[in-house]
Amino acid sequence: MEWKTFDFKGGNRKFGRKAGEIFEGDQFRCSFCSGTGILPGSKDIKCPVCRGSGIVSVKGPVVVCAYCKGRGEYPARTNITCTVCRGTGLISITKPIEVCEHCRGRGKEPGGSLPCMVCKGKGVITKKNDKER
């Protein structure tokens, strides 16, 4: 898989983020509240992930969380923060990366719904050079 790198400050998929892309930067739109700063389904409760700012800080480079598919919540539509990305929808990585062969990039244990034990739910692992193999 070819990885594309973007300097991106958007939010989840509806803002242009998708799996297979590496994003640079440190400030991103909160995936849990879609950048509104308000807990989904409420009118005045601050988002527990971004604390009402609509912006989260994640040390770049980052990839979309494979476990929650960048939504920041797992299971979907539950308002329960993803245990892998802690609700941000993004995961910090160390380049170069490759797709996790154990879970095939899904971030879940094969045949189950728990985070993958090899990549810890990221869907990617740091690529090892030939000397380390």
Q: How far is CA 94 from CA 11, 55, 122, in A?
A: 21, 22, 12
pLDDT level of residue 18 (50, 70, 90 thresholds): low
Per-residue pLDDT tens for 60-104? 899 999 999 999 998 877 889 999 999 999 999 998 999 999 999
Closest to 82 (Cα-Cα) out of 66, 94, 102:
66
Q: What is the rounded distance in angstroms from the CA atom of residue 130 to the CA atom of residue 55?
A: 39
pLDDT at res. 127: 87
pLDDT at res. 9: 44
Buried-state track 5-37, b at ≥16 Cβ within 10 A, e below 16: eeebebbbeeeebebeebbebeebbbbbbbbeb
pLDDT at res. 92: 93
Most confident of 41-45, 106-110, 125-129: 106-110
Region 98-119 average pLDDT: 93
Cis peptide before 96, with omega less than 30 degrees from 0?
yes
Within 10 angstroms of residue 116's Cβ, the number of other Cβ atoms is: 24
Cis peptide before 61, with omega less than 30 degrees from 0?
yes
Per-residue pLDDT tens for 19-61? 668 888 899 999 999 999 998 888 889 999 999 999 999 998 9
User: Does the pLDDT value for residue 132 go beyond 70?
Assistant: no
